[in-house]
Amino acid sequence: MTSSPTEIGRRPELGGRFAPVPDEIDAVDLPVEGTLPPELTGRYLRNGPNRLPGEEPGHLFTAHGMLHGVRLREGRAEWYRNRWVRTRALEGHPFLSEAGVDLTAVPANTHVIEHAGRLLALVENGLPYEVDRALGTVGPCDFGGRLTTAMTAHPKTDPDTGDLHFFGYSPFPPHLTYHRLSADGTELTSREVAVAGPTMMHDFAVTAEHVVWLDLPMTFQWERMATGMPFGWDEAYGARLGVMRQDDPACAVTWFDVDPCYVFHVGGASTDAEGRVVVDGARYAPADVGVMWGGPVPGDPAAAAAATGAARMHRWVLDPRDGSVCETTLEDRGVEFPTLDESRVGRASRWRYAIADRGARGERAGAVVKVDADGTLTSHELGPDVTAGEAVFVPSSPSGTVSDRAEDDGWLLTITTTRDGRASRLLVLDATDVAGAPVAAVTLPRGVPAGFHGSWLPDPRA
């Protein structure tokens, strides 16, 4: 039995805080409350969906990408600007045609990262689009013709090698392809990974030694094409996590069956001293998938009645020695968009950061939260009328090594938006004291629609 993906992106999500802005603007000398740390000198960029004026609403996930940027320098907020990512999809080219799939006719609306000197706007069903530091679109990027599949919006940079790990999934065989791009962007290695079918794999994980795959029961279904989001829950598909060694490109994947669920976003992963792979992520139970994605999902009636549609921080411990899996829910408050200190990608880490949209009792309550490895949660409450976007961690001393500072010694940057969509701020929180008052808040010249993911791009060091 499957569920129809009609709810997410179609209810109030196309109004209020999700309402698109109609134009591109520039503003300078932005008002600042508090004091911006002078170390925050660079650009905060965030990507998200924003349809063109006059377009049919369609599905939130398929709207054109728009970048929002704030330039900070030496305690000042110099400018804000927003720009559409000018893809072939924005120009009206179809993604699917008799000629096949056009990997450049995509919305590029999900993430923006920097690798090897290039800024890339990402979406998981096509090629990345390169943009410049003023947010102008350069064009599609296939790394010199070497990338021939779609690219996930959630690549992982190894903090030691600088290599970029990513993948592409497809409704057509091969359904999953792994890629590794060198730190200088010149060498790309790829391999097919066998999965059970056309799964919607939004994210994955890496450790220093492994790649971890999420082969979960949200699958591509042709009959869903008319909904604008052709994926639905497939009870018969099963759920498993796969562990693949990085040092042997031809090695087999070790698969671990897990309780049925869906995961949009991984919070972090590492290999522990006993060789077990530990993965944290925002996990949707089957009943919550039904509420979140739209339509019923079979399961325990009591669980279905209690479902809120929210994900919860969850941990899987996978033991390759005996094939065992241990699953633990770390915190019961619904959260999404988990992040961590990027210098600890694939390594043991204590802290995760995330956002919440509901309180512990289910009431409307926006918050930025900090989750300890033991599941203890601390929150910066925004109240019922303000919501937060993904919180990006910026270390206090980017030029130093991880050992030079405490793991949470830095700031969290997030764009907050009122639920009516009328006003937004760039909020700066002290990551060591998330519950405390903001370090600074930059008033933005317009309401910024709730979006997806972003990055902090520090100015190059002299």
* Residue 404 buriedness (CB in 10 A; 0-12 / 13-18 / 19+): exposed
Residue 59 annotated as binding?
Answer: no
Residue 453 annotated as binding?
Answer: yes
Measured from the Cβ of residue 50, the count of other Cβ atoms closer than 10 Å reads: 26
N- to C-terminal Cα separation, the chain: 58
Q: Which residue has the tokens 């799964």?
A: 199
User: Cβ(59)–Cβ(10) under 8 Å?
Assistant: yes
Q: In what order do the strands lie in the sheet with 262-271?
A: 262-271, 277-284, 312-319, 324-329
CA distance 312 to 359: 13
Residue 175 annotated as binding?
Answer: no
Measured from the Cβ of residue 455, the count of other Cβ atoms closer than 10 Å reads: 21
Measured from the Cβ of residue 347, the count of other Cβ atoms closer than 10 Å reads: 19
Residue 314 annotated as binding?
Answer: no
Q: Which residue has the tokens 């808040």?
A: 441
CA distance 150 to 30: 38
Q: Does a cis peptide bond (omega within 30 degrees of 0) precede residue 174?
A: yes
CA distance 137 to 359: 39
Known binding residues are: 154, 202, 265, 453
Known binding residues for Fe cation are: 154, 202, 265, 453
